[in-house]
Amino acid sequence: MAASAPRYPHRPVRPLKALKAFNGLVGDRDDTRYVFAFFEAVNGRSQEDWFDRFFDSEYGRSVVADRERVGRVLTDRETLMSYGRGTFAAAYLHYLDSEGLQPTGVFDAYWDQAPDDMANVRDHYPQLYALSYMMSLTHDLYHVLTGYGRDPLGEAVLLVFTGTQTGSRGSRLLGRMAGLRIRAEIPSWPVGRMVGEAVRLAQTSTPFASVDLLELLPLPLDEARARLGLARPDLYLATRATWSGPEPVTTKAA
């Protein structure tokens, strides 16, 4: 019997490579090659247990069996619009339009900026590739559900939120390092408390990646949040609502 394809790669932790990637990302916060390099350098085996639980779950198996489904649903604008005002789907479309985004934008950026890495994952780790596709396309759904914006602060705390739920050392660490940079630039922002808020929200809500978020799209947005047991990031929202100064020029993950 042929051996099954490996689920995910194992790489050593390389702190200097991670620091170099972080500095590169600070210089060009839209270059996702640095995100890949950072995660590769620090994740190590931090997500092994989470990967195994996901791939062995009913939802995880469905993602692997039909990787394209999330793309089909999120690019079907006509169906999403049919769900009506006030729905999770309507909020998602508004988010895309107001930010000038495409549903596959994060995943496309990965391919554009790190084609060798993506081809390696596709060819040698098909389960991980399916998971990466799903996580990339649902990243914008995470923004809509949590209320964290695409501003550098919002991206930083969303990284912490996501990393807390998935066990990703890279996501948690990158979010915290970005937070420290932001705190240095805008000392009045309670960034540490907002990071703590993100951790609490992640721990007390249903892990997003264990749920088929696509099934929540027809629901009113507040009901979708309630289904996930998700509270609002009040400290982050209040900080953003009262800020009229310049944005920090620092890292952004996507």
Give the model confidence (pLDDT) of 125-137 as tens digits: 999 999 999 999 9
Residue appearing with tokens 């009229």: 244
pLDDT band at 250, cuts 50/70/90? low
Tokens in use for 191? 């960034």
pTM, entire model:
0.90
pLDDT for the residue numbered 33? 76
Amino acid at 20: K
CA distance 184 to 187: 6
Amino acid at 66: D
pLDDT band at 227, cuts 50/70/90? very high
Single out the residue of 23, 16, 24 nearest to residue 41, CA to CA: 16
CA distance 50 to 75: 28
pLDDT for the residue numbered 44? 83
Domain boundaries of the chain, sorted by first residue:
15-241
Are 122 and 114 in contact by the 8 Å Cβ rule? The answer is no
Are 12 and 44 in contact by the 8 Å Cβ rule? The answer is yes
CA distance 143 to 123: 30
CA distance 24 to 74: 31
Which residue(s) pair with 220 in the sheet?
Answer: 87
CA distance 66 to 55: 13
- The answer, yes or no, to whether residue 69 has pLDDT greater than 80, is yes
